[in-house]
Structure 1
Amino acid sequence: MTAAITNNPRIALYYAPPASSAWWREGCEWLGRDAESGLSIQTGVHAWTEAPRRYGWHATIVAPFHCARGVTPADVLAAAQAWASATPRFEMPVRAAQLNRFVALRPAHASDDERLRAMAASALHALASVRARPSAESIERRVSPGMSARQIALLREWGYPYVLEEYRFHMTLSDSLDDAHARATIASEWTRRIERLGPLPIHGAALFVEPQPGAPFMLWQRLPFTNIANIANTAQDKA
């Protein structure tokens, strides 16, 4: 989706696997929709993936937001591109994990979890000036009994409770499922797929947009990360 966007839709900064990768193809096929082309994909697991299908194959970096007053989507794109251009790419081993009643992909190693938490924090600060702050009434409506005191404080400060030290990188594979057997089946299936696919390529992020409230999110712009090898070569050339 590369056309200009209008009507102040919600915009999100997500991680998405490279378009040419098997990781992107398999994730889209599993969810039943390609958020970049907009095409639906008929699979046998639709009953398990209705909620994540609307958002597309991704991991949240900065949760969906409206533009701040006087800010355009082009301003958001410029800020996101500047952040991405200073973010190094890397490869990350992942595992299939059950998170409460969901199944999701998570970093296999604690060191990568911390690295991604720092990356998401840098993105949150980089986009702070272009994000509209939700109204106080909206924020208070989103306070739930299951939130910790720290999560409530983050919600009130940032408009979202799972940021900074509360951030957890995850790529959702299922709806909320009461069926423990279904969750175990999904986790087992993706454990096999991970063995075949190898490490997850953290090579870039993407801006997704929600064209109208409740509509499926579409991948609007990909944001490649920096290749560390290129930075090193450039530094050597200048020396």
Structure 2
Amino acid sequence: MSTAARLANEAAEWSADARFAVYYAPSRASGWWQAGSEWLGRDVENGLAYAPPQPDTLARSVRELTETPRRYGWHGTLVAPFRLADGVSPGELLDQARRWSHQQRAFVLPVKAATLGDFVALQPATPDGEAGMRALASGALSTLDGLRAKPSAADLARRLVAPLTQRQRSLLVEWGYPYVFDEFRFHMTLSSSLDAADERAALVAWWQQRITQLGPLVVDNAALFVEPAPGQSFVLWQRLSFRNVEVEKQ
């Protein structure tokens, strides 16, 4: 079967309301992909399930603490989930996304574990790293914007109920998501919302130790993730490799 035919067969199984997202996903060969997939309990690329590690400092199970991010899989958002515009096929999205990715240069991203609101996430450890991820996300969004369906009036009304600044409200209306461009903050979610500060602190401490072992992230690819039908778990559909150049350190 040709690649085009295989992609068409995959897409034929998805709902008309399928959503797509461009995420950063560590290389399959990296320790970071295995570590994050095990932590969330599932590998969204090959469908394997894992029993997450269980730090001694946690009273509750990791599986309980990671219920929300498990549905989305191990990733950092570059372009938030969206539906395709009328007349746009998944294949067209893949072609455009690949053209964008082939123009990107790989780089190394030092990271840290931190609390972000009431959840725990990996974040860039340096201002240069934050700026690099913001530029990457902004370029992907601008490139693919013409392929996404605009939010319906009902969707906008529902999302505008959230406590947003005027700038974020304007971005939501224009780009379908409030946390883009200057409002973008790259992160890779490690937990659901957690009320207990001591629980968040224990997760941060555990992951800081893992970061020491795993080292920085290598940003050498992105990936197209798909939510096949509303409410279903996201899966990694296609990886988007960056240019095959020597990795540039931050």
TM range (shorter): over 0.9
The one-character-per-residue Cα deviations of 1:12-48 (angstroms, maximum 9, x if unpaired) are: 1000000111100000000111111122212241011
1:138 correspondence with 2:144: no
Counterpart position of 1:78: 95
Counterpart position of 1:40: 49
Letter in 1 for 2:21: A
What is the aligned counterpart of 1:16 among 1, 14, 25? 25
Counterpart position of 1:224: 241
Counterpart position of 2:144: 127
Counterpart position of 1:181: 198
1:167 correspondence with 2:176: no
User: Deviation of residue 137 (structure 1)?
Assistant: 2.4
What is the aligned counterpart of 2:223 among 170, 189, 206? 206
Q: What is the SS of the residue equivalent to 1:96?
A: strand
1:195 correspondence with 2:212: yes
Counterpart position of 1:151: 168
User: Deviation of residue 146 (structure 1)?
Assistant: 1.9
Letter in 2 for 1:147: L
Q: What is the SS of the residue equivalent to 1:137?
A: helix
Letter in 2 for 1:210: E
Letter in 1 for 2:49: S
User: Deviation of residue 68 (structure 1)?
Assistant: 0.7
Q: Tell me the distance in 2 between the aligned counterparts of 1:190 and 1:199.
A: 13
User: Deviation of residue 229 (structure 1)?
Assistant: 3.9
TM-score (norm 2): 0.89
User: Deviation of residue 145 (structure 1)?
Assistant: 4.6
Matched-pair identity in %: 50
Counterpart position of 1:94: 111
Q: Tell me the distance in 2 between the aligned counterparts of 1:162 and 1:229.
A: 31
Q: How does 1:31-70 map to 2 (within 5 A)?
A: 31-43=40-52, 44=54, 45-70=62-87
The one-character-per-residue Cα deviations of 1:90-147 (angstroms, maximum 9, x if unpaired) are: 1110000101101000000011101111111110011011111111221121013521
Q: What is the SS of the residue equivalent to 1:18?
A: coil
Letter in 1 for 2:103: A
Q: What is the SS of the residue equivalent to 2:130?
A: helix
C-alpha contact 2:106 2:246 (8 A) present in aligned 1:
no
C-alpha contact 2:74 2:188 (8 A) present in aligned 1:
yes
Q: Tell me the distance in 1 between the aligned counterparts of 2:49 and 2:164.
A: 35
Q: Tell me the distance in 1 between the aligned counterparts of 2:193 and 2:246.
A: 41
Task: Return 103-112 or 39-48, whichever deviates more.
Answer: 39-48
Counterpart position of 1:116: 133
C-alpha contact 2:227 2:234 (8 A) present in aligned 1:
yes
Unpaired stretches in structure 2, ≥5 consecutive residues: 1-5, 55-61
Letter in 1 for 2:160: V
Q: Name the count of aligned residue pairs.
A: 230
Q: Tell me the distance in 1 between the aligned counterparts of 2:34 and 2:245.
A: 26
C-alpha contact 2:40 2:66 (8 A) present in aligned 1:
yes
Q: Aligned-pair RMSD on alpha carbons?
A: 1.5
Unpaired stretches in structure 1, ≥5 consecutive residues: 231-239
TM-score (norm 1): 0.93
